[in-house]
Amino acid sequence: MSSQIINKSGEGKALTQVFYNSSKAAVSLLAKGLAVEWAQHGIRVNVVSPGYVNTDQMKHMDKSIRDYQAKGVPLGRFAEPSEMAGQALLLLSDHASYMTGGEYFVDGGNLAW
């Protein structure tokens, strides 16, 4: 029997978001701990950490702020929700059968620098 669990996490940059950021760190570390404990049962646990994604939440942001933030992403834009699916599908597939305890950033290169 084999199972997979994928958590969603994100990395924030604003220092004023200490509670948000610490909760994201908690998700990452929880996944690592569960990956170690549950591996013996054939359960893999990983985290997908998206960057900025064009969602309804982003529509409420001022356009000038959105444009400014998008310029800071190496790929020069926010992700579309459908672009998050690829990483999740990989982690759920047999191609990821030896991947557990990892955090995978889907952020257009935003954390690369």
User: Which residues constitute the domain of residue 36?
Assistant: 3-106
For residue 112, tell me if it sits in a domain. no
Categorize the per-residue pLDDT at 10 as very low, low, confident or very high, splitting at 50, 70 and 90: low
For residue 111, tell me if it sits in a domain. no
Closest among 50, 66, 44, 55 to 10, alpha carbons compared: 50
Tens digits of per-residue pLDDT, 24-79? 899 999 999 999 999 999 999 999 999 999 999 888 889 999 999 999 999 999 99
For residue 113, tell me if it sits in a domain. no
Per-residue model confidence (pLDDT) at position 14: 52
For residue 22, tell me if it sits in a domain. yes
Per-residue model confidence (pLDDT) at position 98: 98
- CATH code assigned at 92: 3.40.50.720
In angstroms, the CA 26 to CA 19 distance is: 10
| pTM (two decimals) | 0.77
Tens digits of per-residue pLDDT, 80-105? 999 999 999 999 999 999 999 999 99
Active site residues: 20
Q: How many structural domains compose the chain?
A: 1
Determine contact, residues 40/78, Cβ cutoff 8 Å. Answer: no
Determine contact, residues 72/52, Cβ cutoff 8 Å. Answer: no
For residue 90, tell me if it sits in a domain. yes
